[in-house]
Every structure is written in structure tokens, then in C-alpha cells.
Amino acid sequence: MATVPIGPIHPVLKEPLRIKLVLDGEKPVDAEIEMGYVHRGIERIMEGKHCHKGIYLSERVCGICSYVHTMTFAECIENISKIEIPDKAKYLRVVTCELERIHSHLIASAVYNLAIEHETLAMWLLNAREIIMDLMEMITGNRVNMGYNVIGGVRRDINREMMDEIYKKLDIFEEEIKNIIEVFETGPLIALRSKGIAVLPYHKIMRTRAVGPVCRGSGLPESDWRLRHPTYQELKFKPVWREEGDNFARMMVRHEEIFESIRLIREALEHYEECSGDVRVRAEIKGGKGEWRNEAPRGEVTYKMEITDGGIIKRIMIRTPTVMNLEAYKYMLKTCPTVADALSAYTSIDPCVSCTERSIVAIKDGKEIPLNFGVML
């Protein structure tokens, strides 16, 4: 047995962490994952602050899926305080959330293709992503940290010209992405490096509690939390899933979800056109405890918090999807023939390190001892 360290800085890693691969010859058999290189203790920073500052901080939990964090934060407080937001805001949240899902899936696919040395396809995907980024900027004013969600609705409305532009660019994007995904589906190199590699069987899903496309790629469609969200239920959302459980299945779930996201955006805009009134209400924040879950691009994201009357955050806990998917990664290694396949398997779960690292406080002799390393709750 030998151990091969990968990271914290490595070409295949988007963010720093260390993977200690245990090898039997050249075949990976186990892995130990070390984190803590980008720990920020963001939940502890939120405590004692007003929720208007908290929502600003929540957008900094993750750089790629920042929008769904503010949406989940706002909906958690709206649920605690029994705030009913306007219908317009509900549909605009779906539109922007699904645009973010598309751009996140395109990045995940591009990174995976780079890991299996298909640079051309990766560049095509990133080029197509720019259409989506332009739409997000047009609607919210920003490309990444959008600052669009507020407690009680969204910050700004859209007009007829913007809606026409969304429809027009979605048509262009849909045609372009169909051709790109066809290359992925039919490419012999991609099949060689993806099919039958890093298989995560259905029965292992229940043990690892994997979420998101990792889970749905192994035959568990009900893991998608959009099935439980009232607005998505109204839009008749249908989850995408496959049964193979390998790298190819996980990537194809993301690709097929892109088309479901496009359908949801169009459906939400049709419902939006039937609405009238404002896009936000004046929110009266009441104290209490509660939690809310949404389906982020990588899987279930949970916000659990306690607030005071007026909106001061007493305690908050955020759980992001990568913590569960990293545990699933260890099971995938059993069907990885080489170290190179172990790296492509890692990228197939679309990990986000910065939003996974959490803070805890240890109590010793009645005193709090902050721990300055990544701990995942």
C-alpha cells in the first residue's frame, strides 16, 4: 500500500484541499480528505448581526451558487415570520435560481472535461455560459454576488424588453448547448474515461447520504428538494435522474437538468406575466426558530436559525451539499482503475470547498474554545 498526496494546490482542484489517496499498486482503494485551507467561520460572524447583514453574508458562502443561499436565507426568515411575498417575486426567484443552476452545471461540466483532458469541449461550455451570465446581469445587475433577494421579495422588477431578451437568448443558448451535449454523449474518449468509472450503487447512496446530481445519477429522483418547494410544485417540476451511478451518469444528469431549468424559466415567466403589483413587501420580522431547504446546483442546502423580534440572528447553521458528497467519493474509488480516474471522479461530484468548511466551538471547563479548522456539521 502506498499513499499519494494530491493538493492542496493541484491543476484539477478548483479550491484548495488535500486528498491522500491510498493505492494498491496503481489502483486507488481509499482516500483521506483534509480540509481547512479556506475556513472562514461565516456562521459565527453572522451571530449577533441583523438579518439584513446576514443575507449579505450568506451570499458570500459560495461564489458559484451564491443566489440560492440568499434565497434560502430569505425564505427561512419568511417562514419563521409568516411573511407572504408577492407572486411576482416567487416567479422571479425561480427564474434567477434556475439561471444560476445552468451556469453552475456548465462550470461543473467544463471542469470535468478538463480533468479528462477534453479541453475543447470545456471551452465550448464556458463560452455558452456567457449567454446565461449576461441574462443574470441584466435581471439582477451583477454576474456573481447579485444582491437580488431581500426578506419580503426581490430587489427589482423586470420589464417587457427584458422578458423578450430572456426568451431570445434562451432559444439561442438551447440550440447551442444541444450540440455541445451531443458531443459529450457520443465522444469515444469521454465514454472511455466516464462510463463504468467511479460507480456509486443505489444501495451505497443511503449509507453516504449523497445529494444532488450525485444522488440522482444513482437512481434516487426524490432527493431533489424542488419537488417540495411550493412554487416549483405549481410549475410542475420533474426531476432528472439516471441509474448507472458512474461519472457519465452524474454529468448527464447535470446536462439534462439544464433543459428542465430552461423549461422552468419559460413557465415561470408565463406565470409572471399574469401577475400584477410589486415585487416586495415591507417585512415585519418576528422572533422564532425555523429551518428551510432548497435544491442548490450541487444538492440540498439547509439553513437553520433562531432570530429575535426585529431580526437579530441568535444562532444559525448552514449545511451545504458537498459534505455528504465527499463521503460518497470514497465509495466511488472502488471502481477507479487509476489515479487519473480518481481525480476525474472527484470533479464529477462538483465539490465546493469554501462553502463546505464550517465552524464549531468546543467547550472545555465551561469556556468556549474556537477551532480554526474546517469542521462540517
Q: Please report, in range form, the residues annotated as the binding site.
A: 43, 62, 65, 318, 352, 355
Q: Hey, what's the cell of 163?
A: 422578458
Q: Hey, what's the cell of 40?
A: 472562514
Number of neighbours of residue 372 by Cβ within 10 angstroms: 9
The binding site for Fe cation comprises 65, 355
Residues 249 and 258: their CA atoms lie apart, in Å, by 14
Give me the residues paired with residue 306 across strands. 289, 315
User: What are the phi and psi torsion angles at 105 (to 5°)?
Assistant: -65, -35
Residues 315 and 291: their CA atoms lie apart, in Å, by 12
Q: Hey, what's the cell of 19?
A: 486528498
- The HSE-up count of residue 314 (CA atoms within 13 Å, CB side) is 10
Give me the residues paired with residue 30 across strands. 22
Smallest CA-to-CA distance from 153 within 235, 242, 239, 91 is with 91
The binding site for Ni(2+) comprises 65, 352
Smallest CA-to-CA distance from 47 within 318, 357, 314, 360 is with 314
The binding site for Mg(2+) comprises 43, 62, 318
Residues 287 and 285: their CA atoms lie apart, in Å, by 7
Asked if 308 and 314 touch (Cβ cutoff 8 Å), the reply is yes
> What's the CA dihedral at 78, 83, 88, 91 to 10 degrees?
30
Q: What is the DSSP string of 64-116?
A: SSHHHHHHHHHHHHHHHHTPPPPHHHHHHHHHHHHHHHHHHHHHHHHHHHHHT
Residues 345 and 326: their CA atoms lie apart, in Å, by 11
